[in-house]
Chains A and B, each alone.
Chain A
Amino acid sequence: EVQLVESGGGLVQPGGSLRLSCAASGFTFSNYDMHWVRLAPGKGLEWVSGIGITADSYYSGSVKGRFTVSRDNAKDSLYLELNSLRGGDTAVYYCARSTYCSRGSCDTRAFEVWGQGTVVTVSS
């Protein structure tokens, strides 16, 4: 079964840090672009960060310079390091799978597979 499972959320004070993890199973993790998407209370979905199969990473303007995405293909895992956290970062954070790449070519895909989410609360 194709599955993504997030962990690492919790309550953190403003200015604090947190590391989120996403464990993948049921597919060849190293062949896919991966993303973090968040849903803040009362708001809509927001794409946060993406990482390609060669570990090229990209961020939304609201988190650039504060968040760092990484992947460990040996562990089939995706990570998001959250630093300098603010109240506006309070949200459910989801990992998601998209584009498939193999043998030098890529099939651009939508976000087909999602985890169940992990909750990050930034509050004093």
Chain B
Amino acid sequence: EIVLTQSPGTLSLSPGERATLSCRASQSVSSNQLAWYQQKPGQAPRLLIFGASSRATDIPDRFSGSGSGTDFTLTISRLEPEDFAVYYCQQYVSSPPGGTFGGGTKLEIK
């Protein structure tokens, strides 16, 4: 079973700054089936990035994903006030159907 380790656990930044979040897998993620989600308190998770680097529908282009194999990155180019939330990476598979999550990175206002 693949284990996903996210770092840092908490990231304190100011609006307008650039955020870089890391996700490291214990073994290679097949076909780059790596996704990123944003979750705010009291809300369901929202898909941001799939296939390691493709933005989901209606996601602003300040969000970008990169990486392959075991190392992946979510970058938010210029933080808006609404971007402060918890971010999770996930490896998703279809056979069998499953989806292991990383422990999350909390992005907080400095």
Contact = CB atoms under 8 A, between A and B. Distances in A.
B99 A47 contact: yes
Contacts of B97: 33-35, 50-52, 56, 58, 98-99
Contacts of A39: 39
B99 A109 contact: no
Interface in B82-110: 86, 88, 90, 92-104
Nearest to A44: B104
Contacts of B88: 44-45
A74 interface: no
Contact of A111 (B51, B92, B103): B92
* Interface bin, chain B: 20 to 34
Interface string A107-121: 011111011110000
B94 A33 contact: yes
B50 A110 contact: yes
Interface residues of A, number: 28
A11 interface: no
B21 to A, nearest CB: 14
Interface in A64-113: 94, 96, 98-99, 106, 108-112
Contact of B45 (A51, A106, A114): A114
Contacts of A40: none
A47 B98 contact: yes
The 4 A-B residue pairs with the shortest CB-CB distance, nearest first, are A50-B97, A110-B35, A110-B50, A114-B44
